[in-house]
Amino acid sequence: MIKAYDLGPLYASGIDGRGSTIVIVDSFGSPTIAHDLRAFDRGVGLPDPPSLKVFQPAGKVPPFDPNNSDMVGWAYETTLDVEWSHVFAPGANIVLLETPVSETEGVTGFPEIVTAENWAIDHGIGDVISMSFGATEQTFPSVGSLLGLRSAFQNAQRHGVTLLAASGDTGATDYELNLQDLYPVPVTSWPPSDPLVTGVGGTMLTLDDNGNRLAPDVVWNDGFGAGGSGLSTVFGRPDFQDGVRSIVGHQRGVPDISMSAAVDGAVVYYESFAPTGTIDGTCCWDLIAGTSEASPEFAGIVADANQVARHRLGNINDALYGLASLAYGQGPYGGSHGKSTGLVDVTQGNTTFGPFTNSDGNTYTVQGTAAGPGYDLASGVGTIDADRFVPALAFASSLNNR
């Protein structure tokens, strides 16, 4: 993955996120994360991060129960988030915020997440926050109940902290409140739909054994899942998407950018809280994927750019769409600077999801959107060549923060 995203030249020049702190937020966390990160680093040849700190500012997390599938699932999530943010910024500090209530759909779990994030922001804990979770907008009791959970995002905006969120793994649809059925119509989730957040979608990479690309990246949609995408029903089109109004219309479009997420091309991780060892029969390596992989990967990229800029980047959406305008001409700029921006266009694939069968016995397919030249609702502004993108993002964000 380091080679595929052209991270090597950055690392060789000392750009590895040092001086920055990535904040990971997960319900329950993992009881073995410190041990597992050290083992992961030894296995893949990375240095340990300068520090890994774990906080529970929203209340003490219940004791880990290996028979509780929800807690085990969040432990897998936590492991993925921490280990793969570290791959993309091996010099950055990592802070894990563990919350005591599982985030599912609707409001559940979010009050504790908001408390934890506000605590971290108020205490100057981190520079970029990655959220590998989301709830379908339609599962909130009302628009007001969703909007009432935005205080941490507004706090982050005031303090220059970058917010990222995974766009979801079910393409153009997402889960209903019962956590079993999928909506039979296009929907999207929050927080990636929030204009104060950068929504990170999914791609599928085709690589050889040495990490070289054999074909252009495509939108993740491999039969096991698909990158979340769509138009918000809560938030109108933000200013940074004015240049792509012909695509998003009057609504906020998701995702903004995309990174590796496909099950067909999953990443390796190490966990010892529920060892399976399915790769080679030994504890404790396994494979994992999803946009929950993409968000922490991009958090590492933001940490690298923080180091280049020598300050927090804050909300990067203006900078991101400004770079897209330079690269593709969708906006006020010329559209001939793709390589210099480090953006890589994703022009193949779609987010149509299905067929799937709901508890009503009916089978559905939800029509998504197809990738195409420039910005689209399947991949956002595309993906990245990190060696070029990191300095470009640092520069563009510095201009926007003047």
Answering whether pTM is above 0.75, one says yes
> In the predicted model, is pLDDT for residue 326 greater than 60?
yes
The predicted model gives 218-247 an average pLDDT of 96
Which amino acid is located at 84 in the chain?
Answer: W
Structure tokens, 33: 């994360």
**Average pLDDT along the chain:** 93
Q: What are the backbone dihedrals phi and psi of residue 297, each rounded to the nearest 5 degrees, phi first? A: -60, -45
Judged against a pLDDT cut of 90, whether residue 283 lies above it is answered with no
pLDDT score at 402:
54
Q: 313 with 160: CB under 8 angstroms? A: yes
Residue 335's pLDDT is: 60
pLDDT digits (tens, 9 = 90+) for 19-29: 999 999 999 99
- Cβ neighbors of 226 (< 8 A, separation 6 or more) are 169, 170, 171, 172, 202, 219, 220, 351, 352, 353, 368
* Bridge partners (DSSP) listed for residue 211: none
Six-digit token pair at 390? Answer: 């990191």
* Per-residue confidence band for 61, with pLDDT thresholds at 50, 70 and 90: very high
Mean pLDDT of 364-376: 96
Predicted local distance difference test score (pLDDT) of residue 276: 61
Cβ atoms of residues 15 and 395 within 8 Å: no
At residue 157, the pLDDT reads 96
**3-class DSSP state of 343:** strand
pLDDT at residue 279, as a whole number: 46
Tens digits of residue pLDDT in 104-139? 999 999 999 999 999 999 999 999 999 999 999 999
- In contact, 4 and 211? CB cutoff 8 Å: yes
Q: Are the C-beta atoms of residues 96 and 113 closer than 8 Å to each other?
A: no
Decide: 301 and 389 in contact? Cβ < 8 Å. Answer: yes
pLDDT at residue 393 is higher than 60: yes
Summarize pLDDT for 67-108 with one digit per residue, the tens. Answer: 899 999 999 999 999 999 999 999 999 999 999 999 999 999
Give the mean pLDDT of 43-60.
96
Place of tokens 């019962």: 178
Q: What is the pLDDT averaged over residues 271-296?
A: 79
